[in-house]
Amino acid sequence: MYKTLICAEALASHIDDPKWVVLDCRHDLMNLAAGREGYAIGHLPQAVFADIENVLSGAKHGPDGVFRGRHPLPQKEALAEALRAFGIDDDTQVVAYDAHGGMFAARLWWLLRWLGHEAVAVLDGGMAAWQATGQPLTTGVASRARGRFSVRAPFVPTVTVQEVMDNLEHGRRIVIDARAADRFRGENETIDPVGGHIPGAKNRFFKDNLQADGRFKPADQLREEFGALVDDPSQAIMQCGSGVTACHNLLALEVAGMPGAALYPGSWSEWVGDSSRPVAKG
């Protein structure tokens, strides 16, 4: 069972295995059609496209009309139904990939663990690693029989915006922001309406989890780097702009052997949806 990362060579040996499902998670936050367009041009054999906006995220506003962020969590049963349509069973090995160093594939990795599915991994190095080994792409659309996926107890915790607010007063938990350093400081903000960060948060840009070739750094190096920020992973909260790249830091922590951190799904986009919440800069 692969539970964090898988190399291209290992995936290639299982690409036609009926008990494996490969999901293409390519996306572009500034061009929402880019992922599906890229899939049509060429994707891994047998891969099915998993849409970040419409499948791996839920409604931006709750039943009460309150803004929940740009990529709030989907309803569990709705996501489970999508996974069944992808052909996923309870014992299926799932592999997620993208072309962005795992930026979006890690979201799917986390979501499946949130639904209690342990056999899910991210293709280390993504499409570039796949093609570097000489493996082919295809334009054919995979057709799979409907799966029998069931929602089980989650492997991963979450926190609400109220819990993050309460933490400002008590300060027992450390908040780690996965955005680029300039956006964390409140500079060059082009996605959300307000720049800055949650007071007291620390910055760990998700791309710092990667080597120059786009693969994840070794476990011991990740453990050393995260250890400088986090004493107890179970007391850490991971966030980003909208709850997507925070999952990259959560995957890196898992690779480092430091499990237990929680995701704040709404992240910065939800936080600044209410002007009464404090903002720090610099």
Residues 101-147: tens digit of each pLDDT: 999 999 999 999 999 999 999 999 999 999 999 999 999 888 889 99
Tell me the pLDDT band of 42, cut-offs 50, 70 and 90.
Answer: very high
Q: CB of 225 within 8 A of CB of 205?
A: no
In what helix (H) or strand (E) does residue 185 lie, and over which residues does it extend?
helix 181-185
pTM of the full structure: 0.96
Q: Is the pLDDT of residue 32 over 90?
A: no
DSSP 35-96: HHHHHHH-B-TT-EE--TTTTSS--SB-TT--B--SSPPPPHHHHHHHHHHTT--TTPEEEE
Distance of alpha carbon 52 from the chain centroid: 10
Distance CA(136)–CA(7), nearest Å, equals: 15
Q: Mean of the pLDDT values across residues 85-99? A: 97
In sequence order, what are the residues at sequence separation of 6 or more whose Cβ sits closer than 8 angstroms to the Cβ of residue 100? Answer: 26, 27, 126
Distance CA(125)–CA(25), nearest Å, equals: 13
Closest alpha carbon to 192 in 65, 8, 69: 69
List 203's β-bridge partners, or say none.
177
Average pLDDT, the chain: 95
End-to-end CA distance of the chain: 43
Q: Mean of the pLDDT values across residues 76-88? A: 97
Distance CA(156)–CA(265), nearest Å, equals: 12
Q: Mean of the pLDDT values across residues 10-32? A: 94
In what helix (H) or strand (E) does residue 93 lie, and over which residues does it extend?
strand 93-97
Q: CB of 192 within 8 A of CB of 272?
A: yes
Residues 154-193: tens digit of each pLDDT: 999 999 999 999 999 877 899 999 999 999 999 999 899 9
In sequence order, what are the residues at sequence separation of 6 or more whose Cβ sits closer than 8 angstroms to the Cβ of residue 64? Answer: none
Tokens of 221: 């190096």
Distances (CA, A) of 58 to 52, 69, 70, 250, 265: 10, 10, 9, 20, 11
The one-letter amino acid at 171: G
Distance CA(226)–CA(216), nearest Å, equals: 14
Distance of alpha carbon 207 from the chain centroid: 13
Catalytic residue among 7, 25, 240, 247: 240
Map out the domains of the chain with their CATH numbers. 5-132 (3.40.250.10), 161-271 (3.40.250.10)
Distance CA(176)–CA(111), nearest Å, equals: 19
Q: Is the pLDDT of residue 58 over 90?
A: yes
Tokens of 197: 């960060």
Distance CA(49)–CA(72), nearest Å, equals: 20
Closest alpha carbon to 159 in 150, 168, 148: 168
pLDDT of residue 169: 83
**240 classed as catalytic:** yes
Q: Is the pLDDT of residue 53 over 90?
A: yes
pLDDT of residue 141: 86
Pick the range with the lowest mean pLDDT from 83-97, 101-115, 163-177, 242-256.
Answer: 163-177
Please give the share of the chain, as a percent, with pLDDT higher than 90.
Answer: 92
Helix (H, G, I), strand (E, B) or coil at 235: helix
Tell me the pLDDT band of 203, cut-offs 50, 70 and 90.
Answer: very high
pLDDT of residue 172: 87
